[in-house]
Amino acid sequence: MQRVFSGVQPSGALHVGNYLGAIRQWAIDQHRADSFYCVVDLHGLTAEHDPADLRQRTLETAIGLLAAGLDPDVCTLFVQSHVHEHAELTWLLECTATVGELSRMIQFKEKGDGRESVRAGLFTYPVLMAADILLYDADRVPVGDDQRQHVELTRDVARRFNSRYGETFVIPEAAVPKVAARVMDLQHPERKMSKSVDSPLGTVSILDPPDVVARKVAKAVTDTDGEMRYDPEAKPGLSNLIELLASATGRSIDDIVGSYDRYGPLKADASEALVSVLAPVRARYEEIASEREHVVSALEKGADKARSVASLTLRKAQEKIGLLVPGTF
Ligand code: TYM
């Protein structure tokens, strides 16, 4: 059976980019593969954060994932810091990755913006992500387009480790959806929709009520030439709405482009489609949030299962790299 791993940062409310770009696929994959999904709270320490907020958002993110359809009896859902192996394997991989390759990471360049004051963890962040994936021998990593380069780095580091120290890690592959792999901010369609950027009108949360979704989509920035065409470079706002509609309904981009000649009706259908995709998620969220003890016990069970897999991989890696592992000498 294939192994799947993916993760999400608890850096803010989950939005339709997270859902359509990644999490919806996780809910499907859990029935087809041995799936591990993780709320990556250690990654949440790489940018400025408030400790109490981080704790709260970690729990809310887990509730969001359950509401989005992850079933803790089917997949393994856990919080990254509950499995100490993630931080430990990171060190071995930091001594495998190079400063050169980490310096080429687009997300570091964008978020770091050349500032000396950014946390060192922001720089080494992709190595922690590599450890997440490699601990579980994952074959496939369902992610949005922005994580593609990090999965590539994971592959490079795993291959290097294997060739230096002997076969240890499975080489994973990124699985990126054909549409909605990069959902853009509705107000600033030249940048991606993001949990950590404050753009109240540009970001659609998975918990937004229908009237709020409708208002945000109606106000989405498009262009003034009025020409119905899918062209993410020249017409990013319109193309984003076309992709959202395609992703939410399963219709093809060509079909959508061929069936509208004005932006208004396209916006109306896009907002209706988003509302109906999000309706069951919203309905489940409140219910799950009211059963806090179930969430906590699901996460405990998930961490136990994750630890049982991660501890074996970590031990193997420690032995291969030359540590004096207790019980093996
Ligand atoms: P994060 O928390 O930013 O996003 C979670 C998932 O949502 C996808 N995503 C998007 N997809 C489409 N359009 C968007 N605007 C959009 N924004 C986010 C992301 O690609 C991601 O799949 N580093 C990761 C978390 C992580 C991880 C891992 C992922 C840590 N360890 C191991 C996979 C495997 C991140 O910050 O995702």
The mean of the pLDDT values for the chain is 97
- pLDDT of 329 reads 84
From the alpha carbon of 8, which atom of ligand 1 is closest? Answer: 2
Per-residue confidence at 288, pLDDT binned at 50, 70, 90? very high
Q: How far is the CA of 122 from the centre of ligand 1 (A)?
A: 15
Question: Residue range 245-255: average pLDDT?
Answer: 98
Per-residue confidence at 328, pLDDT binned at 50, 70, 90? confident
Using the predicted structure, report yes or no on whether residue 142 has a pLDDT greater than 90: yes
CATH C-level class of 3-175+291-321: alpha beta
- pLDDT of 18 reads 98
With a 6 A CB cut-off, is 129 part of the ligand 1 pocket?
A: yes
What secondary structure letter does DSSP report for 77?
Answer: E
Among 21, 13, 3, 145, which residue's Cα sits nearest to residue 67?
13
Contact 86, 42 (CB under 8 A): yes
Among 82, 77, 107, 93, which residue's Cα sits nearest to residue 4?
77
Per-residue confidence at 317, pLDDT binned at 50, 70, 90? very high
With a 6 A CB cut-off, is 16 part of the ligand 1 pocket?
A: no
- The domain spans of the chain are 3-175+291-321, 210-287
Q: How far is the CA of 5 from the centre of ligand 1 (A)?
A: 12
Architecture of domain 210-287: Orthogonal Bundle (1.10)
Tokens of 205: 């949360």
Per-residue confidence at 12, pLDDT binned at 50, 70, 90? confident
The single residue of 109, 111, 267, 301 carrying the catalytic annotation is 111
Active site residue 195: yes
Least confident of 66-80, 107-121, 254-268: 107-121
